[in-house]
Structure 1
Amino acid sequence: MCVSVTFIAIADGAITTVALPAIARQFHLTTAALDGVVVVYPVALAMAIPASAWLVERFGGKRVLLTALVGFLAASLLCGTAASLGQLVAYRAVQGLSAGVLFPASAALLFATFTSSEQVRISRYMIIPQQIAPAAAPVLGGLLVDHLTWRWVFYVNLPVGLPAALFGALFLGGHRGGRPGRFDLPGLLLSAAALGSVMFGICEGPNRGWSSAAVIVSLAVGTGLLASAVVVELRVQEPLLKLRLFGHRLFRDTNLMNLVGLIPILGAMYIGPLFLQQAQGRTALESGLTTFPEAFGVLLTVQVVGVLYARVGPRLIIGCGLVGVCGVLLLFATCDAHTGLWTFRGYMFLLGLAMGCFFVPTTVASLATIGRQDLAQASTLNTVVRQTGGALAPAAVTTALVLGTPPATAADPPVTAYQHAYLALAAIAAVVAVFAFTLPDGPARAAARGGTATAGRPALLRRRRERIDG
């Protein structure tokens, strides 16, 4: 259930970009005019995330997860039937709102069901959609657009999502929720507006220019609203976003690593297709098949990580993985217009091997010191951090490419601009690697070995696990 939900939510964000030229032709617009179709999804997603923890605590993980999934699938169907750009943007906003609840709700349900030692094993399966979806989406999207129609990039969610919804309705345990306290409306309004404004500024900065009025205003307003939201949430007795959880050093440090560490990792995934298509003149299909080996590297490494996690702890695994990411990015920085596809594929595979040391340990370790009653809140904060880091990655890459492109040259950046961008990403990875080696991972190792770092769950979780499958 959670694997299917994660797959369609991640794939949808990546597959839509492939269909933009076909959508532009359908509505007699330029591709640039469709910017709202892409941007509205992460903005709406960010605005919905703050309410997800309260909804899970109030109505239960199963009910919230299924409702959000049905909403997402209904919006996908509507996107496919859109008769105008305005309709398509509106339906994409509904998709984003639904996805903003899907991610933290599925994570909260998953981590509330299994103990810390079991979470490591479960994460080895959850990493599959997280890696396959963004790698397969461009290839699948290209095939659907070329052989059917752009509308199928939205319809394709239904064959995956409907069986998952039916399975969840029949087999997920029926947790009824509890009494989370009074709904924090000021916290929702401030945090949703802040995250939406910041996400808009980050997404639009590379396209419109960081000096454009819209970007400057959105980032300034978002920062001010975010500061106000922090003040309000720290003063409220039952906040919508439990920012006090960042008082746990392990939770704080792993989220900080996710925020900054995702920039070089996802940045490398973003810049690869650009380099292949713009600097080397490869086709979109060649680009997709060349970057795909990264997924195989990740899937291979996470199996080893699952075995080593309890023995050596997340600190060494994450630190060594980031050192590996830094090294591979330095290899990418040596690529030029004549670098062969198989050489690039080899580097992508090595990148995947290194990346696999990052995802599972940071996720599992972040919850090692969090009590069961705060898991929904912690999952929400984790999602906010990861979504922000994911948005910063393409923004950082695009900015580096723009800075490396001489004003007098053509629109496409030269090879040297890509090389400098890879070097910048490698420098960020090196800094985060140094920080990772300071991680206090004793509680994480204890929890993975069956200790008591996360309080009071084993007996209840064993009973719930018997009722909840997947």
Structure 2
Amino acid sequence: MCVSVTFIAIVDGAITTVALPSIARHFQLTTAALDGVVVVYPVCLAMTIPASAWLAERFGAKRVLLTALTVFLGASLLCGAAGDLTELVAFRAAQGLSAGVLFPASAAMLFATFDSTDQVRISRYMIIPQQIAPAAAPILGGLLVDHLSWRWVFYVNLPVGLPAVLFGVLFLARHDGHRPGRFDLIGLLLSAAALGSLMFGICEGPNRGWSSAAVLTALVLGAVLLAAAVAFELRTADALLKLRLFTDRLFRDTNLINLVGLVPILGAMYLGPLFLQQAQGRSALDSGTSTFPEAFGVLLTVQLVGRIYARVGPRVIVGCGLAAVSGVLLLFATCDEHTGLWTFRVYMFLLGIAMGGVFMPTTVASLASVARRDLAQASTLNTVVRQTGGALAPAVVTTVLVLGTPAAAVADPPVTSYQHAYLALAAIAAVTSAFAFTVPDGPARIAASGGTARSSRPAGLRREPEKAA
């Protein structure tokens, strides 16, 4: 269930970009005019994340998860049937609003169902959609647009999502809600407005320019609202976002690694297709097949990481993984217009091997010292951090490309600009690697080896957990 939810949400966020030229032709618009179709999704997603933990606690994780997935699928159907740009943007907003609840609700249910020892094993399954989805989205999107129509990049969610809803109704046990306290409306308004404004500014900064009035206004307003939200939440007994969880060093440090470490990793995934198609003039198919080997590298490493996690600990694994990411990015920085596709594919495979030592250990370690009653809140905060890091990655890449390119050539940066971008990402990965080696991972190792147990593990599935995973 959680694998399907994660796969659908990630693919939907990535596949739409492929269809933009076809959508523009259909509505007789320029591709630039469709910017709202792309930006509205992460903005709305960020706005509903803060409320997800309260909803899961109040109404039960199963009910919230299935309701959000049903709304998401309905919005996907409406996106595919949209008659004009206004309808498409509105229905994309509905997709984003429901996706903001999907991510943390599914994660909270997963980690509440399995204890710390099983979480390492389960995370090896969860890494599959997280890596396959962004790699497969461009290829799948291209095939759907070329052989069917742009509408199918939205309709494709239904064949995967509807069986997941049916499975959830039949096999997911009830997670009864309880009274989590009064609903923190002021906290929701402040945090949603702050995250939405910041996400808009980060996403639009590279396109409109960081000095443009709209971007500056969004970033300044978002920063002010975020400061107000933090101050208010820390003084509120029934806070919507339990920011006090960040006083736990392991939770705080792993989230910081997720925030900064995602920039070089996702930045490289964003930069690769741009380099192949713009700097080398390759086709979209060549680009998709050349970036896909990264997923195989991740899946290979995760199997090893899952076996050594308890013995070695996340500190060494994540630190070495990020150091390897930095090294591979230095290899990418040597690529030029004459670099062959198979050389690039080998580098992508090596990048995936390095990335496999980062994602799963940080996610499991971040929740190792969190009490069971706070899992929903912790999952919500994790999602906020990951979404912010995911938005920062393309913003950093695009900014470096523009800074290293003459004004007359911004639309077609030279190869050296791409090389400089890879070097910048390598430096960020190296700094994050050094920080990762300072993380105190004792609680994570103890929890993974079964040395501690959270109170009363509820059954998450009606069937035996390993078979249902």
Q: Is the 8 A contact 2:171 2:462 kept in 1?
A: no
Per the alignment, residue 201 of structure 2 pairs with 201
Give SS of 1:92's match: helix
Match of 1:109 in 2: 109
Unaligned runs of 5+ in 2: none
CA distance in 1: counterparts of 2:48 and 2:16, whole angstroms = 20
Partner Cα distance (1:268, 1:410) in 2: 19
How is 1:3-402 mapped onto 2 (pairs within 5 angstroms)?
3-402=3-402
Q: Which amino acid letter does the alignment assign opposite residue 176 of structure 2?
A: R
Distance 1:463 1:64 in 2: 16
Residues 131-186 of structure 1: per-residue CA shift (max 9 Å, x gap): 00000010000000001000000000000000000000010011121110000000
The letter for the 2-side match of 1:64 is: V
Query: How much has 1:466 moved relative to structure 2?
Result: 4.0
Q: How many residues align?
A: 468
Query: Is contact 2:315-2:437 (8 Å) kept?
Result: yes
Q: Report if aligned partners of 2:171, 2:463 keep a CA contact under 8 Å in 1.
A: no
Superposed CA deviations along residues 256-310 of structure 1, whole A, max 9, x for unmatched, are: 0000000000000000000000000000000000000000000000000000100
Q: Is the 8 A contact 2:61 2:175 kept in 1?
A: yes
d(CA) in 2 for partners of 1:37, 1:196: 15
* C-alpha distance 180-8 of structure 1, shift in aligned 2 (>3 A): same
Amino acid aligned to 2:27: F
Partner amino acid, structure 2, of 1:246: F
Aligned partners of 1:264 and 1:257: how far apart in 2? 11
**Structure 1 segments unaligned to the other structure (5+ residues):** none
**Distance of 1:133 and 1:46 partners within structure 2:** 20
Q: 1:178 to 1:465 in 2, by over 3 A?
A: farther
CA 465–192 in structure 1, closer or farther in 2 if over 3 Å, else same? farther
TM-superposed deviation, 1:465 = 7.2
Residues 403-449 of structure 1: CA distance to partner in whole angstroms, max 9, x if unpaired?
Answer: 01112336210000000000000000000000000010000000000
Separation in structure 2 between the aligned mates of residue 174 and residue 361 of structure 1, nearest angstrom: 29
Q: Is the 8 A contact 1:115 1:457 kept in 2?
A: no
Q: Is the contact between residue 19 and residue 142 of structure 2 (CA under 8 Å) also seen in structure 1?
A: yes
CA contact (8 A) 1:116 1:448 kept: yes
* Aligned Cα root-mean-square deviation (Å): 1.2
Within 2, Cα distance between the matches of 1:465 and 1:105? 20
CA distance in 1, matches of 2:463, 2:169: 16
**Matched-pair identity in %:** 79
CA contact (8 A) 2:250 2:439 kept: yes
Determine whether 1:455 maps to 2:454. yes
SS where residue 316 of structure 1 aligns?
Answer: helix
Letter in 1 for 2:254: T
**Deviation digits for residues 234-267 of structure 1 (CA, Å, limit 9, x no counterpart):** 0000100000000100000000000000000000
Q: How many angstroms does 1:464 deviate by?
A: 7.4
Tell me the distance in 2 between the aligned counterparts of 1:110 and 1:422.
35
Deviation per residue, 1:203-236 (Å, 9 max, x gap): 0000000000000000000000000000010000
Tell me if the contact between 1:173 and 1:467 (Cα under 8 Å) persists in the aligned partners. Answer: no
TM-score by length of 2: 0.98
Moved over 6 A (4+): 462-465
In structure 2, distance between residues paired with 1:467 and 1:59: 23
> What is the deviation of 1:457?
3.6
Aligned counterparts of 1:465 and 1:436: Cα–Cα separation in 2 = 38
Report if aligned partners of 1:113, 1:464 keep a CA contact under 8 Å in 2.
no
Please report how far the alpha carbon of residue 455 of structure 1 lies from its aligned counterpart in structure 2 after TM superposition: 3.2
> Which amino acid in structure 1 is aligned with residue 12 of structure 2?
D
The 3-state SS of whatever aligns with 1:204 is helix
Distance 1:463 1:419, change over 3 A: closer
Distance 1:5 1:361 in 2: 21
**TM-score under structure 1 normalisation?**
0.98
Distance in 2, matches of 1:334 and 1:8, equals 35
Secondary structure of the structure 1 residue equivalent to 2:409 = coil
| C-alpha distance in 1 between matches for 2:184 and 2:13 | 29
Amino acid at match of 2:196: G
Q: Give the aligned residue type for 2:262.
A: L
Between the aligned partners of 2:57 and 2:342, the Cα distance in structure 1 is 49
Cα distance between partner residues in 1 of 2:54 and 2:161: 24
Per-residue Cα deviation, 1:43-97 (whole angstroms, up to 9, x for no partner):
0000010000000000011000000000000000000000000000000000000
SS at match of 2:407: coil
CA distance in 2, matches of 1:187, 1:410: 41
In 2, Cα distance between the equivalents of 1:131 and 1:462? 25
2:315–2:440 Cα contact (<8 Å) kept: yes
